[in-house]
């Protein structure tokens, strides 16, 4: 009886982990898309160049 309950709980945890992994994959893809959009922004380039100038970093 106890062993069966542990098995059921284990299966539920595995399913939750699979779903969490799927959500993480989708979020990773969204982050990559947003990052790509940000990098094409003129404001991003302005701030990056300003930061590099402040730190005396040349390209």
| Per-residue pLDDT reduced to its tens digit, 24-57 | 999 999 999 999 999 999 999 999 999 999 999 9
52, 58 in Cβ contact below 8 A? yes
Where would I find the H helices in the chain? 2-39, 42-54
Q: Is the pTM of this model over 0.85?
A: no
- Give the start-to-end residue ranges of the domains of the chain: 2-54
Q: Which of 11, 8, 29 is nearest to 19 (CA)?
A: 11
Residue 59 has pLDDT above 80, yes or no: no
């Amino acid at each position: 009886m106890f062993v069966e309950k542990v098995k059921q709980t284990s299966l539920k945890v595995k399913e939750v982990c699979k779903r969490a992994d799927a959500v993480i994959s989708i979020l990773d893809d969204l982050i990559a898309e947003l990052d790509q959009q940000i990098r094409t922004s003129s404001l991003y380039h302005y701030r990056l160049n300003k930061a590099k100038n402040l730190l005396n970093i040349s390209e």
